[in-house]
Amino acid sequence: MSKFTDYQFKPFLREAIQKLGFEEPTPIQKEMIPLIMKNTSAIGQAHTGTGKSHSFLIPLVEKLKPEQNELQTVITAPTRELAVQLHDELKKLIEGTEIKSAILIGGTDKKRSAERLKSTPHIIVGTPGRIQDLSETGALPIHTASQLVIDEADLAFDMGFIEDIDKFASRMPEKISMYVFSATIPEKLKPFLSKYMNSPVHVRMDDKKPLTENMRYSLVPVRSMDKNKKLLHVMDALQPYLAIIFMNTKQNADRLATYLAEHGHKPGKIHGDLTPRERTRVMKQVRDLEYQYIVATDLAARGIDIPGVSHVINFELPDDLEFFVHRVGRTARAGMQGHAITLYEPSDEDAINQIEKLGIPFIHEDVKNGEWIEVKERQARKKRVREVDEIDKKADSFIRKPDKVKPGYKKKMAEQKENFKRRQRRIKKKS
């Protein structure tokens, strides 16, 4: 199908898709919509920004039967922010219909969540922990739902939610249709998938679009300077609308936020140790433009949608280099310009090489007196050493020890080699 009008969707759904301004399905939508319509369990492997949410929301809404007053579909997201985002998109598709939905997330009153379920929803979106709690107490009649979506499955695994999903999935019908969406499929996730999915179709989207569009990738050497001070220099050269500074651990994020506060900045903090209430407060402050900088762990790279990010600063490179793509994908959205800055030390050399292989076109830059300046590539010295080695080898093969040696031959050979190398360097320069 090349256009959404080619699908035989119900009139209300066609109208909702038109209102959203969708004309042509994205590659992941073209692959996943027919599979879900046929109840074929599938794994959709795609990065953020590929249209994957609607690749399952649209066909699942099409298949709902509002005349059957029972829960039919369960959608899980690893964070409450992602769940809210998904539910908001779902509501746009079912507006004005008899289809009932509910959102079930942690950090909200459990009794109120249970109240929402008294008028049995046809479809729910929620976090794994809250869905498990309510299904265990019997408030959520999960045994009638035959469709299960696990969104951001690798993140759910990293955050320890697969056990909750396993518990409530085991209460669902035996012939369950499961749809798993994930940027990566870690080896440790595979036993869970094979337990519930019998020969699923694996759809892989090799979408490298987010890497270069409207983006500037600055690679900034720390050299002998203290890394915290280097960050302050970089921040002095920026005027961000909103910048996220990425760290690898909660402890490091806390320490850096304290350091920045001591040096005149007011950073927000987002990491897994914040309570749902604290995260809600921080997100409200972000929307109210109270922060220019947020210090965050990789939870903010994929688990939380933060609007208006103009800059990303990688203070630490991620342990899993795939997350570099997710981090920089927080900016340059909706046609806006973005700037990703990576501070690097000599120990980061191998990781930087790997990231370049992902297609990141780094510019070698530094900050001097509050201004951005271009600096020599970190590989320049290595290239020079390699060229010298190559010319030396060439000279050795061309200028050889004569069969009959005369006094002073060594000096003569050395002069010949130097002349040869000078000529080679001149030739190299011209080319």
Secondary structure in 3-state letters for 262-329: HCCCCCEEECCCCCHHHHHHHHHHHHCCCCCEEEECCHHHHCCCCCCCCEEEECCCCCCCHHHHHHHC
What is the DSSP pairing of strand 243-246 with strand 311-314? parallel
Q: Residue 91: which pLDDT band, with cuts at 50, 70 and 90?
A: very high
Per-residue confidence (pLDDT) for residue 49, from 0 to 100: 64
Residue 404 predicted with pLDDT over 80: no
Average pLDDT of 241-257? 94
Q: Report d(CA 391, CA 408) in Å as an integer.
A: 24
Instruction: Please determine, for residue 398, whether its predicted confidence score (pLDDT) is greater than 80.
Output: no
Among 87-91, 314-318, 408-412, which stretch is predicted with the lowest mean pLDDT? 408-412
pLDDT tens string 99-108? 999 999 987 7
Q: What pLDDT shows up at residue 224? A: 87
What sections of 307-408 are H helices per DSSP? 322-328, 349-357, 380-398
The DSSP output letter for 372 is E
Structure tokens at 416: 């010949």
Any idea of the CA torsion for 355, 210, 80, 308, to the nearest 10 degrees? 110
E runs forming strands in 26-89: 42-45, 73-76
The pTM for the full model equals: 0.69
The model's pLDDT over 11-38, given as tens digits with 9 standing for 90+, comes to: 999 999 999 999 999 899 999 999 999 9
- Over residues 218-237, the pLDDT tens digits come to 999 998 899 999 999 999 99
Going by their DSSP bridges, the two strands 201-204 and 42-45 should be labelled as parallel
Common-topology check for domains 4-204 and 209-374: yes
Highest mean pLDDT among 284-293, 379-388, 398-407: 284-293
* Segment 372-393 mean pLDDT: 64
Please give the pLDDT value at position 154.
Answer: 85
Structure tokens at 360: 């990141």
Mean pLDDT of 352-378: 88
Q: Report which listed range, 259-268, 331-340, 351-360, 385-394, is most confident.
A: 259-268
The pLDDT of residue 272 is 79
Mean pLDDT of the chain: 87
Confidence of residue 300 (pLDDT cuts 50, 70, 90): confident
Higher pLDDT among residues 185 and 341, named by residue: 341
**Cβ(340)–Cβ(331) below 8 Å:** yes
Q: What is the model's pLDDT at position 252?
A: 94
* Dihedral sign for Cα atoms in the order 170, 172, 175, 176: negative
Helices (runs of H) and strands (runs of E) counted in the chain:
17, 15
Instruction: Give CA torsion, residues 110, 115, 117, 121, to 10 deg.
Output: -120
The number of beta carbons lying within 10 Å of the beta carbon of residue 216 is: 18
Among 142-156, 327-341, 412-426, the least confident range: 412-426
- What is the pLDDT confidence band of residue 381, given thresholds at 50, 70 and 90? very low
- pLDDT computed for residue 76 by the predictor: 97
Could you tell me which CATH class the domain 4-204 is placed in?
alpha beta
Q: Would you place residue 418 in the very low, low, confident or very high pLDDT band (cuts 50, 70, 90)? A: confident
Q: pLDDT category, 209, cuts 50, 70, 90?
A: very low
Is 209-374 assigned to CATH 3.40.50.300? yes
8 Å CB contact between 362 and 239:
no
Q: Domain locations in the chain?
A: 4-204, 209-374, 380-430
Identify residue 45 by its one-letter amino acid code: Q
Over the stretch 107-151, which tens digit does the pLDDT of each residue have?
A: 777 788 888 788 899 999 999 999 999 999 999 999 999 999 999
Q: With beta carbons less than 8 A apart as the criterion, state whether 103 and 123 touch.
A: no
